Chain A
């Protein structure tokens, strides 16, 4: 059997939101290149548990790259060095034997650290609740969505925006700590579809208002978010949100 890699980890440990926290060094040995990054952390945690130490707390759920739960700022990049993947889909073959790897939580005023690498992304839920939905009649006579004609191009763009899994990598990587790629995606997916038209103006006004209240920064079109987004959401969604917002402000009635 091929010998595994030995890595030096520098992991952010923080007991609670109130705790100051700091970087702690760990050695992880015999790491298989086929492991995912999260499995490597699992190995570390098993060691820690065996030693009677507190394991590193981190978010994860599906481990298939579709749920948006995993986070981690790895070696200075959201979801690590690869493009178009979440941390659970980042494999240890992307690292070399002897590498030093920094692992930190998302850093944002809007994402307080719960413990270690886990942050509270409730801010995204509250932004969604402010307008990221369509109100449909559930009386049983709801019109079949497929019966509404939608241009193919619009449907594709709406779907592209809707692939956002709300992981928060855009906020984490943005030098301004801005959440506009997320909000832009959520505004776009409805603005492009006929079902989203009724609440179109209220939606963008309310979602942006909530975004500002959560303490996220202002977009300055740097473009780091679209590079690091695991779903490759385009900056185009931010342009659309800007457009929707200005239109809604200038012409508040339909």
Chain B
């Protein structure tokens, strides 16, 4: 059974889609919570949400699972990439891949690598500071109804006051958009759930998710830089 769960090509695809869907569920939570900055209340609602996420035992446990899922997705993806490359040791002299498939479908490893590079910067900006080293913004805490809350909103404003950071974040969102555009529906195909009956529904949800989530994410650094949220 152990071999059956990991060894084969189809199980590698199975884990790719399970971890992918798990990361998609994380994106939804992350995006919804961060969208609280758009409440335009000086970040009070957002800081409370961030405080809840940072102190809740279930969320903190899921954080470990999330890192595990991310690493599994990356390792599995790299294994698939290198195996697939060795499946064609002699390349074609002339290829016309655009005739039969989309470039982003063929470039999942590249897009994934770009997202990973973005993620390293992103973790450095926020996760590292809030969990380990402490925030760089002064003062680091704000008071709300007698509770001392970390001012992550202030940290966001500080980080997104640099134009190059905003540009890198927007590019990261573009990579995420194309990665999701293929990945979302692909996950259902790998799980064998892409029945003809559901095919259009899955494709529609996938396209909608791929557009909405990265757009909302990209709107955060842009609107903070432009001073649209306050």
Interface residues in chain A, defined as those with a beta carbon under 8 Å from any beta carbon in chain B: 10, 12, 23, 73, 75-77, 81, 102, 104, 107-110, 113, 173, 175-178, 180, 205, 208-209, 211-212, 215-224, 227-228, 235-236, 238-246, 249
Q: B132 within 8 Å of A by Cβ?
A: no
* 0/1 string, B125-147, CB within 8 A of A gives 1: 00000000000000000000000
Q: B94 within 8 Å of A by Cβ?
A: yes
Q: Which residues of the partner chain A approach B105 to less than 8 Å between Cβ atoms? A: 220-223
Which one, B8, B11, B94, B193, contacts A75 given CB within 8 A?
Answer: B94
Q: Which residues of the partner chain A approach B108 to less than 8 Å between Cβ atoms? A: 220
Q: Which residues of the partner chain B approach A102 to less than 8 Å between Cβ atoms? A: 93-94
CB-based nearest B residue for A23: B93
Q: Are B100 and A77 in contact (CB under 8 A)?
A: yes
Q: B5 within 8 Å of A by Cβ?
A: yes
Q: Are A249 and B5 in contact (CB under 8 A)?
A: yes
Q: Which residues of the partner chain B approach A178 to less than 8 Å between Cβ atoms? A: 9, 84, 87
Q: Which residues of the partner chain A approach B65 to less than 8 Å between Cβ atoms? A: none
Q: Are A109 and B11 in contact (CB under 8 A)?
A: no
* 0/1 string, B1-44, CB within 8 A of A gives 1: 10011001111111000000000000000000000000000000
Which one, B13, B99, B191, contacts A219 given CB within 8 A?
Answer: B13
Q: Which residues of the partner chain B approach A227 to less than 8 Å between Cβ atoms? A: 99-101
In the complex with contacts A107-B88, A107-B92, A209-B8, A242-B100 CB distance below 8 A: no
CB-based nearest B residue for A214: B87
Determine the distance from Cα of A221 to Cα of B105 in the docked complex, in whole angstroms: 8
Q: Are B90 and A107 in contact (CB under 8 A)?
A: yes
Which one, B80, B96, B192, contacts A218 given CB within 8 A?
Answer: B80
**Known pairs A177-B84, A221-B105, A242-B10 / 18 extra A-B pairs, C-beta < 8 Å:** A10-B93, A12-B93, A104-B93, A107-B91, A109-B87, A175-B106, A208-B10, A217-B88, A220-B84, A220-B186, A222-B106, A235-B189, A239-B192, A239-B195, A242-B13, A243-B193, A246-B192, A249-B1
Q: Are A242 and B182 in contact (CB under 8 A)?
A: no
In the complex with contacts A10-B93, A76-B92, A246-B14, A108-B194 CB distance below 8 A: no
Q: Which residues of the partner chain A approach B94 to less than 8 Å between Cβ atoms? A: 10, 75-76, 102, 104
Instruction: Show 26 A/B contacts (Cβ-Cβ < 8 Å), sorted by A.
Output: A76-B92, A76-B94, A107-B91, A108-B88, A109-B89, A173-B100, A175-B84, A177-B87, A177-B88, A178-B87, A208-B10, A216-B87, A218-B80, A220-B105, A221-B182, A235-B189, A236-B196, A238-B189, A239-B189, A239-B194, A239-B195, A240-B192, A242-B13, A242-B190, A242-B191, A249-B5
Q: B83 within 8 Å of A by Cβ?
A: yes
Determine the distance from Cα of A108 to Cα of B89 in the docked complex, in whole angstroms: 7
Cβ-closest 5 pairs across A and B = A243-B192, A76-B96, A217-B87, A177-B87, A242-B192
* 0/1 string, B61-81, CB within 8 A of A gives 1: 000000000000000000010
Q: B227 within 8 Å of A by Cβ?
A: no
Q: Are B101 and A218 in contact (CB under 8 A)?
A: no
Chain A nearest CB: distance from B179 CB in Å? 12
Q: Are B195 and A109 in contact (CB under 8 A)?
A: no
Determine the distance from Cα of A164 to Cα of B222 in the docked complex, in whole angstroms: 51
Q: Which residues of the partner chain B approach A224 to less than 8 Å between Cβ atoms? A: 97, 100-101
Q: B86 within 8 Å of A by Cβ?
A: yes
Q: Which residues of the partner chain A approach B8 to less than 8 Å between Cβ atoms? A: 208-209, 212, 245
Q: Which residues of the partner chain B approach A73 to less than 8 Å between Cβ atoms? A: 92
CB-based nearest A residue for B9: A218
